[in-house]
Structure 1
Amino acid sequence: MSRNRKKRILLSLFSVGLVCFVWFEGSKETARLDKDDYPIWMEMMEEPNVNLEEAARAFDAYWDNHAHYRGDKSKKFERWYEANRKRLDQNGNVISAAQVRNEYQRMRELTAAAQEGKWFNYGPVNVGRTVDGDPRNGGRVKDVAFHPTDPNTFYVSCFKSGFFKTTDAGSTWSQMTDHLSEEVYISKLKTADPNTIYLGTNLGVLKSINGGADWASTGLSTYKTNALLIKPDNEDIILVGNEVGIYRSINAGESFTQVKSASLVEELRIHPTNNNIIYASTNGSGYGSTADRDSQFFRSVDGGVTWTENSTDFGDGSFMKLAVTPAKPDYVYAINTRDYDGQNSFEGVYKSTDAGVTFTKQSGDTPCITGYDDSGAISRGQPNYNLFIVSDPNNSDIIYAGGVKSWKSVDGGVNWTQAFNNVTALGFGLHLDQLTWAYSPVNDQLYAVNDGGIYFLNEDSKFQTITDGLPIAEVWECTQSQVNKENVAGGTFHAGIKLNRNGVWYS
């Protein structure tokens, strides 16, 4: 948040001797507030209609008694505050994403008139090179999904920027959700009918039956949905992981039933050869006591109808992600982070050889593959945001994993070497903050997605960016030259400053 805003709030607090009270529901939350070390403002950011200034007072009161550290989520709060301070109702409450969606849809239904003005996407559409020629700051890509038979056709989910499709292996991209207000986190296609696509969004699950030309709500139109799975042997069965648990549909998304209650389910994986064995893991978010915020691992052996938790094989963690491989169908890899144990964000990488029944720890602590440090020294990283693990489909010992940066193991996760710096086709490093890496099931091509865009591992074992053509840089503020009107500069979220000079974009 701006220094002036914080100063204004602090002066107000001191001038009237105000004690900061935050509205809660239930005795559990009230008890938590009594703890001096409880950052309630983290939870308030997730409330759809929170009062902005109440959240700001809670934020300032917390940091009056705590020292800042890298990755402490204060920057996330400041961005959230800045984005929402102009989006408030008459009572100072944040206008929820559901309200925005409903009003936008109502507006589209009420007016059939063409949009006034000649609006077009000025950019940046291409990444824009830095002064040393490094093209890695395109914008956030959360997930990549693949056409079941065509290796040149795949899809990317890009948070606020929406959902995009390529049919030429990333040379060009088409926007599929320009008329939607939802953020897009993940997508899945039916193998039998690739024109049927499901999207996981900040407002539940959307479905298209015509290749993304039109989208309709499903039986689940609430909750942030970061995990999706279509059961291969019966594609009318859809499994969803969201803020409050795991949901299951048996009628292609027309209706859903909650089959497991859990906080922030962010990963669903299926056994490569047994369609009834499914795995799930969660993001503890680092809130509350240790017991409240641990990551969790769940396993189902009946196609997602019932679930059991393994809480004994893993150390205390805050976020867990999973990988499986057809090279060893009974293998399951898990990477687990921690967000409340000093500076060490890497809890460990685990391996199961019995389809998720038991796990053995392969590595942990150092090298700290989830942290900031290039050498792998212990560091915090951002263990509740960026995390991934993926296993080679032909060699189960080859694993890529990490958080802020990326690492590689060739012995099943026991030892790690950095696979981040000097790994691109032009000799640079990948963009920071790795999210979901994946192998194409059609040709085993490895794709890396992160806060800077999307890359693929080429035949020279170098990562090559294919982010150009994706207009996904989230521009928060912009300015225009008064001398040359075509010259525009903007500050972006995770992609640096973009400058258009004489029709060419630079970073």
Structure 2
Amino acid sequence: MKKILSSFLVLLFVLFLSNNSNAQYVESSTKAEIDASIEQRAKLRNSSAFKNYPVRNVGPVVMSGRVSDIAVHPDNSRIFYVAYASGGVYKTTNSGNTMTPIFDHQDALGIGDIAISGANHDIIWVGTGENNSSRSSYAGAGVFKSMDAGETWEYTGLRNTQHIGRILTHPTNENIAWVGSVGALYSTNSERGVYKTTDGGKTWDKTL
């Protein structure tokens, strides 16, 4: 019995070495490649013959992924924003009786964190890329900011951070915010750590 078990363990070890030697390691996408794909997506969307037709979900199920964050308006608890791991951002103004998608036309639908500015509650910060370290987690496209409570959005940088786990805002200065980034999963990249902006997202300094 011991001899059979030993032979089985040796066979497993040989198979393990064989799989490792034949493994193909693929480099992660570069920032330039990500930028190019986002630009191509925008061109395709703008030139589409169906761009003015609304899309309606017809099933079989409604799927937006896991809820990654909820941000409640500090002065009105009936208003809050819900961020999904792979479904964008939704907003309610009636305590959740109805939810409206407000991030569908941006460059990423995987959301890691959302924050309402402490100094100006109409300013909403969104960090894209789910924070979980999993092969089923989608990378994001940086940080986005709304100045009008989610009506419109602007990209503010940190494209290659890929997975943003936390955004903090200054309580009295609407131009100051901090972003915590996981960076690329299972591969090397330099855009991971803590970033700070003092000009509303126009520039970012890596502080950690």
Name stretches of at least 5 consecutive residues in structure 1 with no aligned partner. 1-13, 24-43, 51-95, 128-137, 261-507
1:198 corresponding residue in structure 2: 125
**TM-score, with structure 2 as normaliser:** 0.69
- Does residue 226 in structure 1 map to residue 165 in structure 2? yes
* Aligned equivalent of 1:159: 85
- Does the 8 Å contact 2:119/2:171 carry over to 1? no
2:154 corresponds in structure 1 to 216
Is the contact made by 1:190 and 1:230 (CA closer than 8 Å) also made in structure 2?
A: yes
Q: C-alpha distance in 1, partners of 2:75/2:52?
A: 42
| 1:48 paired residue number | 28
* Matching of residues 399-478 of structure 1 within 5 Å: none
Equivalent residue letter for 1:48: S
Residue among 38, 56, 62 paired with 1:120: 56
The one-letter amino acid of 1:164's match is Y
Q: 1:48 to 1:208 in 2, by over 3 A?
A: farther
> Aligned AA for 1:186?
D
Give the 5 Å matches for 1:66-105: 98-105=35-42
2:198 to 250, 258, 267: 250
How far apart in 1 are the matches of 2:153 and 2:54?
A: 26
Structure 2: distance between partners of 1:205 and 1:177: 12
Going from structure 1 to structure 2, the CA distance change for 1:99 and 1:122 (only over 3 Å counts) comes to farther
| 1:176 and 1:213 in contact (8 A); partners too | yes
Alpha-carbon distance, 1:101 to partner:
2.6
Kept in 2: contact 1:48–1:97 (CA 8 A)? no
Whether the 8 Å contact between 1:188 and 1:198 is mirrored in structure 2 is yes
Distance 1:252 1:214 in 2: 16
The one-character-per-residue Cα deviations of 1:382-431 (angstroms, maximum 9, x if unpaired) are xxxxxxxxxxxxxxxxxxxxxxxxxxxxxxxxxxxxxxxxxxxxxxxxxx
Partner amino acid for 1:179?
H
Work out the CA distance in 2 between the residues paired with 1:192 and 1:258.
23
Equivalences for residues 219-298 of structure 1 within 5 A: 219-223=157-161, 224-243=163-182, 244-260=192-208
> Which structure carries more helix by proportion?
2
| Partners of 1:147 and 1:236 in 2: CA distance | 18
Contact 1:198–1:206 at 8 Å: present in 2 too? yes
Quick check: 1:108 aligned with 2:45? yes
Q: Offset at 1:175? A: 0.2
**1:192 Cα deviation from its structure 2 partner:** 3.5
Q: Deviations over 1:2-47 (max 9, x none)?
A: xxxxxxxxxxxx9xx8832555xxxxxxxxxxxxxxxxxxxx7xx6
Change (3 A) 1:192 1:112: farther
Root mean square deviation, CA, Å: 2.9
Alpha-carbon contact 1:199-1:207 (below 8 Å) kept: yes
Alpha-carbon spacing, 1:144–1:20, altered in 2? closer, same or farther (3 Å): same
> What's the CA shift for 1:221?
2.3
Cα-to-partner distance string for 1:91-134 (whole Å, 9 max, x where unaligned): xxxxx76554332112234x274438774112435x9xxxxxxx
Residues 73-92 of structure 1, C-alpha deviations (whole Å, 9 max, x = no match)? xxxxxxxxxxxxxxxxxxxx
Q: Which has the larger radius of gyration?
A: 1
Normalised to the residue count of structure 1, the TM-score between the two structures is: 0.30
Equivalent residue, structure 2, for 1:20 = 22
CA drift at 1:169: 0.8
**CA distance 1:220–1:188, change in 2 (3 Å):** same
Q: Partners in 1 of 2:115 and 2:165 — Cα distance?
A: 11
Alpha-carbon distance in 1 for matches of 2:90, 2:55: 20
Q: Deviations over 1:235-292 (max 9, x none)?
A: 21110100211001111111000011xxxxxxxxxxxxxxxxxxxxxxxxxxxxxxxx
Contact between 1:220 and 1:255, CA under 8 Å: does it hold in 2? no
Q: How many Å separate the matches in 2 of 1:218 and 1:147?
A: 22
Contact 2:119 2:172 in 1 (8 A): no
Aligned length: 166
